[in-house]
C-alpha cells in the first residue's frame, strides 16, 4: 500500500492517490496525507485507480476526511474507482456524501 499526494499548482486542490489495499493499516498515512499540509485546500480528490480493495475502516477514514474538510460544505471527489471498489462505495451510499466519478 502506498499513499501519495499531489497538490495543484495553485494550491486549491489536493489529490490523494491510494495504491493497493485501503484498510486500517493505512490509517495514519492517509490521515497524514491531508493533515500535514500547511493550508487546507478547497478541493480534495481521492484517486482510487490503483486501489484493489477497501474495507469498512477505509470508509471511516473517508468520513474523517469529509469532517476535516468541512462536512457538508466539503468538496471531495472520489475518482477512477474500479468496479469492485465503486460497488462498495455505492452499497454504503457514499454517493450521497461524495462526488464519485
The DSSP line for 47-85 is E-TTEEEE-HHHHHHHHHHHHHTTGGG--EEEES--HHH
Domain count, the chain: 1
> What CATH number is associated with residue 31?
3.30.750.24
> How much is the pTM?
0.92
Distance CA 8, CA 73 (A): 20
pLDDT value of residue 91: 96
Domain containing residue 55: 2-100
Whole-number pLDDT of residue 1: 60
Summarised one tens digit per residue, pLDDT across range 55-73 is 999 999 999 999 999 999 9
- pLDDT for 1-47, tens place per residue? 699 999 999 989 999 999 999 999 999 999 999 998 888 899 999 99
Amino acid at each position: 500500500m502506498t499513499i501519495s499526494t499531489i497538490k495543484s499548482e495553485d494550491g486549491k486542490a489536493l489529490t490523494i492517490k491510494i495504491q493497493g489495499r485501503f484498510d486500517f493499516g493505512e490509517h495514519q498515512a492517509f490521515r497524514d496525507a491531508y493533515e500535514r499540509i500547511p493550508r487546507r485546500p478547497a478541493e480534495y480528490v481521492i484517486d482510487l485507480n490503483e486501489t484493489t480493495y477497501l474495507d469498512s475502516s477505509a470508509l471511516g477514514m473517508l468520513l474523517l476526511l469529509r469532517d476535516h474538510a468541512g462536512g457538508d460544505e466539503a468538496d471531495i471527489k472520489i475518482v477512477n474507482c474500479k468496479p469492485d471498489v465503486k460497488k462498495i462505495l455505492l452499497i454504503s451510499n457514499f454517493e450521497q456524501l461524495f462526488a464519485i466519478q
